[in-house]
């Protein structure tokens, strides 16, 4: 999912907004229904910490900048 979507999910989970999270989960494409189902279960059980952890672990790393030798 795009970065802006992950940011929205993270923000909604941090605020405990189950309704917003459920709306965002609906945007997950059908081939990833297992992910959508798992996230829906977490949200239904108010396990927002698991949603936050998922977003944090799937965040793309910033490119590493190499320094020029002196």
- Whether the pTM exceeds 0.75: the reply is yes
Q: Judge whether residue 70 has pLDDT over 90.
A: no
Instruction: Report the alpha-carbon distance of residue 19 to residue 23 in Å, rounded.
Output: 6
Query: Which sequence spans correspond to the domains of the chain?
Result: 3-57
- Does residue 24 register a pLDDT over 80? yes
Spatial distance between the Cα atoms of 34 and 20, rounded to a whole number of angstroms: 19
Give the residue-averaged pLDDT of 6-11: 96
């Amino acid at each position: 999912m795009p970065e802006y979507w992950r940011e929205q999910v993270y923000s909604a989970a941090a605020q405990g907004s189950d309704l917003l999270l459920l709306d965002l989960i609906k945007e997950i494409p059908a081939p990833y229904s297992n992910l959508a189902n798992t996230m829906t279960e977490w949200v239904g059980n108010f396990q927002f910490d698991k949603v936050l952890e998922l977003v944090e672990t799937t965040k793309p790393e910033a490119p590493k900048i190499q320094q020029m030798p002196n």
